[in-house]
């Protein structure tokens, strides 16, 4: 989910591509984003058995095993890594991959899953702001106004039409705030990925993202001290294993591969529309599986956020890759 909206503007316009390729690319973006929408379904089911940290640890172990051969193949690239690259890689793996995914999973379990899901559309805004601070990139035109619009949408997604500040404890425990933390870390890791451009192949960075996160996740799971309440019985354990594999491979690896393939022939503004399949599928599954219906405030908030992002995506000013 991390590099959804912020990568696309660097891919470049697809106007020179044949119409058939552009059309197929659009539907690949739709499919890749739709697979992200399946993510909460797996996580909410898994949270009934194990904790957020345990889910993310097992997920990373599965993906790391899949990506380890890629890292071994490109191992010569590690010889050129300096301290700057090490810092960027640690932020990507520890912040963007480990901690952000734990926050997102905790948000799904402690708050409104629809709000947690829809708030991930804010990732590009965090990436743009951090790119301005760290990479000195220029901001899009009218960014201040568009940012305020997105903030209003964020408020509506998080609190609806109510005022939450009467009780501070209730305010800080809102699951949507955990989702905002995840979005900020994912947006930040996008900027750190920009620092790695030209330093390593994308496949190598992706492999290190999951492999370097394993020691931190193992330490967090151990420090948490929670028991591994794995299901007993063959059928229950088989169902749990299938859910875990589905979580790691469908909204994990497969969605990224399909999304990037489609993105190579899809315009930025068109990809913004295609990515609507992400929240739509997530909200639909939450309704079918968990009887969670989107509220009027959430619908208005999402429209405001999407409108701000669409206006930004129509511009050609530099944004993180």
pLDDT for position 111: 67
Report residue 194 CA to chain centroid gap.
16
pLDDT for position 102: 93
Please answer whether residues 111 and 44 qualify as being in contact, where contact means their C-beta atoms are separated by less than 8 angstroms: no
Helix (H) or strand (E) holding 22: helix 19-37
Tokens of residue 142, six digits: 């009218």
For the chain, which ranges sit under pLDDT 50? 3-17, 167-168, 171, 316-321
* Burial grade of 209 (CB within 10 A; 0-12, 13-18, 19 or more): buried
pLDDT for position 158: 74
**Angle of helix 83-90 relative to helix 202-224, nearest 10 degrees?**
60
CA distance 255 to 263: 12
**Taking phi first (over 0 means left), then psi (-120 to 50 degrees means alpha), and beta for anything else, what does residue 230 get?**
beta
pLDDT for position 166: 54
Question: What pLDDT digit, counting tens, does each position of 130-150 carry?
Answer: 888 887 878 888 888 989 998
CA distance 278 to 30: 8
pTM of the model: 0.78
The three-class DSSP label of residue 300 is helix
CA distance 171 to 152: 17
């Amino acid at each position: 989910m991390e590099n959804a909206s912020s990568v696309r503007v660097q891919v470049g316009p697809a106007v020179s591509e044949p119409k058939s390729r552009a059309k197929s690319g659009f539907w690949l973006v739709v499919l890749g984003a739709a697979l992200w929408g399946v993510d909460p379904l797996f996580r909410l089911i898994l949270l009934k058995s194990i904790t957020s940290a345990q889910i993310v640890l097992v997920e990373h172990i599965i993906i790391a095993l899949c990506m380890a051969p890629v890292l071994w193949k490109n191992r010569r690239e590690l010889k050129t890594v300096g301290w700057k690259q090490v810092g960027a890689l640690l932020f990507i793996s520890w912040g963007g991959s480990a901690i952000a995914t734990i926050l997102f999973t905790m948000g799904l379990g402690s708050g409104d899953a629809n709000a947690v899901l829809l708030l991930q559309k804010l990732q590009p805004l965090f990436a743009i702001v951090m790119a301005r601070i760290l990479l000195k990139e220029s901001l899009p035109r009218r960014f201040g106004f568009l940012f305020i619009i997105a903030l209003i949408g964020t408020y509506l997604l998080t609190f609806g039409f109510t005022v939450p500040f009467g009780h501070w404890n209730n305010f800080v425990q809102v699951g949507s705030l955990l989702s905002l933390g995840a979005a900020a870390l994912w947006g930040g890791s996008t900027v750190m990925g920009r620092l790695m451009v030209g330093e390593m192949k994308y496949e190598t960075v992706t492999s290190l993202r999951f492999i370097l996160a394993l020691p931190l996740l193992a330490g967090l799971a151990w420090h948490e001290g929670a028991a591994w309440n794995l299901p007993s019985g063959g059928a229950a354990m088989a169902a749990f294993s299938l859910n875990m594999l589905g979580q790691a491979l469908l909204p994990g690896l497969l969605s990224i591969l399909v999304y990037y393939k489609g993105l190579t022939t899809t315009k930025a503004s068109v990809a913004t529309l295609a990515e609507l399949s992400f929240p739509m599928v997530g909200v639909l599954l939450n309704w079918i599986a968990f009887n969670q219906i989107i509220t009027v405030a959430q619908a208005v908030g999402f429209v405001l956020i999407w409108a701000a992002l669409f206006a930004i995506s129509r511009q050609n000013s530099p944004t993180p890759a």
